């Protein structure tokens, strides 16, 4: 008995199984967003666990201090770190196009990719930096995607075999012949289930209506069509076509609705859902009432 008491009084270090210890640290980091950085200081292997969480989702948006912190890390680490770690990458207009391309190239393991930067005078493009065979969710401007590439500007199943979610940001006007939406190609994508277009305007995008009217017939796997527009005239034109009566069609003025822009990106940055999830929930609610 005395031996047992003596043993209990001794400070014996608690050694947990490796996997259990990792699970505990990951649960803490996920439950308390922002604490992963502090946990990195405990040990080298804890740092590796925390960085896998910290850099799984990267959002490059305002404030610029956050962007600068990421860029400091980006230029101090090998590209292999980002290829292995980053799974969701969201680039807004907070950085320029050349820098966006460098980051996209390094994050070759990402399955969700958003790039909203403008190509401006650059002759470069996103498509030749993007891991098209891997990407599942893509949000991009067509003139930035294709740029001055000599390859066919088409969505093909060979190029995007795993693409399930596609947002075409600010679709070009019908007069912009070099960067027309490849409607035929969209029909051929074998796994495409979610399509978004925006922002749409009466004076620019009326030409999209014939495609939108038959999109669910032409793309039998499509489960959701998200249309972004704050133009009341364009919304009225949509109503006239009867498109909006389909429960799978979701109309939004802003992609971040119903959250504010700050709330939206903060949620995404910590691994939360993006705009697709709220649209899916609305469609599910509508169809359940039928």
The answer to whether residue 2 sits within a structural domain is no
CA distance 83 to 79: 6
37 and 79 together in one domain? no
46 and 142 together in one domain? no
CA distance 115 to 138: 8
254 and 119 together in one domain? yes
Please state the domain count of the chain. 2
Q: Are 253 and 228 contacting, i.e. CB atoms less than 8 angstroms apart?
A: yes
pLDDT string in tens for the chain (290-residue length):
445 445 445 555 656 665 766 666 667 666 666 666 676 666 676 667 677 778 999 999 988 888 999 999 999 999 999 999 999 999 998 999 999 999 999 999 999 999 999 988 888 999 999 999 999 999 999 999 998 887 778 899 999 999 999 999 999 988 876 777 888 899 999 999 999 998 999 999 999 999 999 999 999 999 999 999 999 999 999 999 999 999 999 999 999 988 999 999 999 988 889 999 999 999 999 988 76
166 and 180 together in one domain? yes
41 and 66 together in one domain? no
- Which tokens hold the place of 37? 């950085």
25 and 81 together in one domain? no
Q: Are 271 and 30 contacting, i.e. CB atoms less than 8 angstroms apart?
A: yes
The answer to whether residue 6 sits within a structural domain is no
CA distance 87 to 138: 12
Cis peptide, bond prior to residue 81, ω within 30 of zero: no
30 and 85 together in one domain? no
Per the structure, the complete domain to which residue 33 belongs is given by 16-54
Instruction: State pTM to two decimals.
Output: 0.87
Q: Are 111 and 134 contacting, i.e. CB atoms less than 8 angstroms apart?
A: yes
The answer to whether residue 5 sits within a structural domain is no
Strand partners, 224: 194
The answer to whether residue 258 sits within a structural domain is yes
The answer to whether residue 62 sits within a structural domain is yes
- Please report, rounded to a whole number, the percentage of residues in the chain having pLDDT higher than 90: 66
84 and 109 together in one domain? yes
155 and 28 together in one domain? no
Question: CA 279, 162, 98: angle at the middle one, nearest 5?
Answer: 85
The answer to whether residue 129 sits within a structural domain is yes
243 and 105 together in one domain? yes
CA distance 290 to 286: 7
Three-class SS of the chain:
CHHHHHHHHCCCCCCCCHHHHHHHHHHHHHHCCCCHHHHCCCCHHHHHHHHHHHCCEEEECCCHHHHHHHHHHHCCCCHHHHHHHCCEEEECCCCCHHHHHHHHHHCCCCCEEEECCCCCCCCCCCCCCCCCCCCCEEEECHHHHHCCCCCCCCCCCCCCCCCCEEEEECCCCCCCHHHCCCHHHHHHCCCCCEEEEECCCHHHHHHHHHHHHHHHHHCCCCCEEEEECCCHHHHHHHHHHCHHHCCCEEEECCCCCCCCHHHHHHHHHCCCCCHHHHHHHHHHHHHHCC
Give the number of residues written for the chain.
290
The answer to whether residue 170 sits within a structural domain is yes
24 and 103 together in one domain? no
The answer to whether residue 120 sits within a structural domain is yes
157 and 282 together in one domain? yes
């Amino acid at each position: 008995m005395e031996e047992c008491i003596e043993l209990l009084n001794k400070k014996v270090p608690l050694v947990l199984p490796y996997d259990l210890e990792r699970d505990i640290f990951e649960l803490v980091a996920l439950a308390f967003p922002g604490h992963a950085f502090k946990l990195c200081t405990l040990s080298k292997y804890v740092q590796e666990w925390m960085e896998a969480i910290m850099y799984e989702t990267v959002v490059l948006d305002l404030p610029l201090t956050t962007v600068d912190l990421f860029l400091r890390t980006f230029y101090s680490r090998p590209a292999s770190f980002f290829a292995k770690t980053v799974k969701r990458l969201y680039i807004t207009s907070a950085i320029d196009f050349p820098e966006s391309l460098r980051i996209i190239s390094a994050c070759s393991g990402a399955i969700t990719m958003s790039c909203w930067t403008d190509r401006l005078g650059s002759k470069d493009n996103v498509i030749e930096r993007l891991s098209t065979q891997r990407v599942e969710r893509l949000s991009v401007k067509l003139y930035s995607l294709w740029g001055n590439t000599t390859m066919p500007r088409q969505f093909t199943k060979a190029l995007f075999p795993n693409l399930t979610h596609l947002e075409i940001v600010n679709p070009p006007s019908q007069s912009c012949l070099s960067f027309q939406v490849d409607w035929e190609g969209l029909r051929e994508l074998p796994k495409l289930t979610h399509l978004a277009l925006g922002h749409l305007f009466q004076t620019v995008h009326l030409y999209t209506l014939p495609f939108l009217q038959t999109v669910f017939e032409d793309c039998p796997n499509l489960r959701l069509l998200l249309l972004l527009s704050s133009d009341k005239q364009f919304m009225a034109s949509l109503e006239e076509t009867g498109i909006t009566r389909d429960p799978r069609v979701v109309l939004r003025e802003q992609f971040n609705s119903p959250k504010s822009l700050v709330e939206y990106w903060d949620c995404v940055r910590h691994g939360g859902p993006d705009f697709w999830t709220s649209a899916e929930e609305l469609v599910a609610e509508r169809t359940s009432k039928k």
